[in-house]
A and B are shown apart, each in its own frame.
Chain A
Amino acid sequence: MRLEELREDIPEVPEKIHAMITEEVDNRLANTNIVPIRKKHSDRKNRKIFVAAMAGTLILFAVGCATTQFLLWSKQPQVSKYVNHEIYRDKDKHIAVSVEELVSDGACTRAIVKLRARDKEGEEWLRNDKPDNNKIAPYIKFYSDSDIQGYGNRWVRFLDEVSNEKEEYYYMECSDPMGMTDGVVFTYSLPNEGLIRKKINIKNKIPVKEYRMVSKDGEKLSEYYEPQMLRISPLSFNIFGMGNGLWFCGIRENHYVIELLISVEELWEERVDKAYLVKENGEESCIRVSSDPGVIHEPVKSVGEYNCAVASGNFDDAAFFTGWDEEKLQTWNLDDVVAIRLENKKKSVVYTLEEL
Chain B
Amino acid sequence: MTKEQLGQIILSSEKQMYATAWAILGNEQDCADAIQEAIVKSFTKYQTLRDDAYAKTWLIRILLNECYSICRKKKRVMPLENLEIATEGDDRKDYSELYAAVNALKDDLRLPVLLYYMEDFSVKEVAKILRISEGAVQKRLARARKKLQQTINLEEVLA
Q: Point out residues on A near B: beta carbons under 8 Å.
A: 1-11, 13-14, 16-18, 20-22, 24-26, 28-29, 34, 36, 132, 134-137, 149, 151, 153, 155, 157-161, 255, 257-260, 263-265, 268, 291-294, 297-298, 300, 320-321
Interface of A: prevailing SS: mixed
A136 touches B62 (CB 8 A): yes
- Closest CB-CB distance, B17 to chain A, in whole Å? 8
Q: Which 8 pairs of residues, A with B, have the shortest CB-CB distance?
A: A9-B99, A28-B43, A160-B48, A294-B77, A3-B117, A13-B18, A25-B7, A264-B84
Known: A5-B96, A10-B19, A260-B83. A292 touches B73 (CB 8 A): yes
Q: Are A25 and B10 within 8 A (Cβ)?
A: yes
Contact between A255 and B61 (Cβ–Cβ < 8 Å)? Answer: no
Asked if B53 CB lies within 8 Å of chain A CBs, one says no
Q: Nearest Cβ in chain A — how far from B132, in angstroms? A: 10
| C-alpha gap A158/B13 in the complex (Å) | 23
| Alpha-carbon distance between A320 and B45 when the two chains are bound, in angstroms | 10
User: Considering the chains assembled together, what is the distance between the CA atoms of A160 and B58 in angstroms?
Assistant: 15
User: For window 53-92 of chain B, which residues contact chain A by CB distance below 8 Å?
Assistant: 58, 61-62, 65, 69-70, 72-74, 76-81, 83-85
Instruction: Return chain B residues, CB-CB under 8 Å to A28.
Output: 3, 7, 39-40, 43
Q: Which of B119-142 contact A (CB under 8 A)?
A: 119-120, 128, 131
B contact residues, total (Cβ < 8 Å): 71
| List of A residues within 8 angstroms of B69 by Cβ | 153
What is the minimal beta-carbon distance from A62 to any residue of chain B, in angstroms?
31
A25 engages B11 (CB within 8 Å) = yes
Min C-beta distance of B57 to chain A, whole Å: 9
Pair A258/B79 contact, Cβ less than 8 Å: yes
Q: Is A259 touching B45 in the complex (CB atoms < 8 A)?
A: no
Bound CA span A134–B54, Å: 12
> Which residue of A has the minimal Cβ distance to B22?
A11
Whether a CB of chain A sits under 8 angstroms from the CB of B154 is yes
User: Does B14 lie at the interface of the complex (its beta carbon under 8 Å from any beta carbon of A)?
Assistant: yes
Query: Contacts A2-B155, A24-B40, A29-B3; is A260 near B32 (CB within 8 Å)?
Result: no
Min CB gap A243→B, angstroms: 12
Q: Which residues of A contact B72 (CB under 8 A)?
A: 151
Out of A2, A20, A24, name the residue touching B157 (CB < 8 Å): A2
Within the assembled complex, what's the spacing in Å between the Cα atoms of A1 and B18? 24
Q: Specify the chain B residue showing the minimal Cβ separation from A136.
A: B61
Q: How far is the CA of A263 from the CA of B7 in the complex (A)?
A: 34
The reply to whether the CB of B33 lies closer than 8 angstroms to some CB of chain A is yes
